[in-house]
Amino acid sequence: MGRLNVNLCGIELDNPVIPASGTFGYGYEFAELYDINCLGTFSFKGTTKDSRFGNPTPRIAECTAGMINAVGLQNPGVEKVISHELPKLKEVFHKPVMANVSGFSVEDYAYTCEKLDKEEQVGWLEVNISCPNVHGGGMSFGTDPKAAAEVTAAVKKVTTKPVILKLSPNVTDIVSIAKACEDAGADGISLINTLLGMRIDLNRRKPVIANKMGGFSGSAIFPVAVRMVYQVANAVKVPVVGMGGVSCAEDVIEMMLAGAAAVEVGAANLVNPYVCRDIVERLPEVMDKYRINTLSEIIGGAK
């Protein structure tokens, strides 16, 4: 086992760096820039039962140290992902990949997860119950412990691979949601998804994005993410995947000290498409600086 290796729900990763869903497509787009097999894994674009065009445009608004997006889970639907996207992905990425799943009902989640669970290259199912910009679904499941548990239990009934529940930070008690998922059988927890944000155009006196509100991400939310990862990691026994404003090797180590077994990088990919590769390359240098022998030994090390 190397210095950077970590274990996520029983699957060994060469390193803990994972591009987050929605910021890395299906991998092959980034494979044109560098060999993406240097990554631990990646979470591919959020997939729903049926195809979705997404929200109306404009969908993006810039903010200080971040951005707001309301893409609305645009994707071709699970059948097309399996028939078209995964074969292309397999040509460029030769490790288990994380499948990110969204839905608008418990049945939707179960259907999509059952389909993706059968795919050889899928290593984990990251079940997104936290999307803040889709009407009638997504975040509503992630803000109520009972609903979160119901989705978790339904997905676990029809899958054999590790199920990781992706949580919303837009709650008053993140620990109760995480524990409800764990009690219902979740193999891991990932957090945080985006905070709910908004920008207003001063000239037009109207919201910048058509959806009015959307998911606020970027380095500005990093302290909130570290706090929530710390709280959840100290409350559950299953592995935690930390994310939210991560943009450098130091951030990865800070997340791991807070309790993350692996770390996802989101908005930073949209600023610098090489950021995840650069983080992986720089980790040994930063580990030496802080006298860290192996990353696995520092998980949850901040007390």
- Residue 46: count of CB within 10 angstroms of its CB: 24
Determine, yes or no, domain membership for 71. yes
Token pair in block for residue 286? 């930063």
Residue 88 burial by CB count (10 A; 0-12/13-18/19+): exposed, middle or buried? Answer: middle
Determine, yes or no, domain membership for 55. yes
Domain count, the chain: 1
Determine, yes or no, domain membership for 303. no
Separation between Cα atoms, residue 161 and residue 172, nearest integer Å: 30
Domain that holds residue 109: 6-298
pLDDT of residue 80: 97
Which CATH number do you get for residue 289? 3.20.20.70
pLDDT of residue 138: 45
Q: Give the catalytic positions in this structure.
A: 131
pLDDT of residue 134: 45
**pLDDT tens per residue, the chain (303 residues)?**
689 999 999 999 999 999 999 999 999 999 999 999 999 999 999 999 999 988 889 999 999 999 999 888 899 999 999 999 999 999 999 999 999 999 988 899 999 999 999 999 999 999 999 754 444 444 567 788 998 999 999 999 999 999 999 999 999 999 999 999 999 999 999 999 999 999 999 999 999 999 999 999 999 999 999 999 999 999 999 999 999 999 999 999 999 999 999 999 999 999 999 999 999 999 999 999 999 999 999 999 998
**Short-list 303, 295, 269, 281, CA closest to 44:** 269
Determine, yes or no, domain membership for 92. yes
Determine, yes or no, domain membership for 177. yes
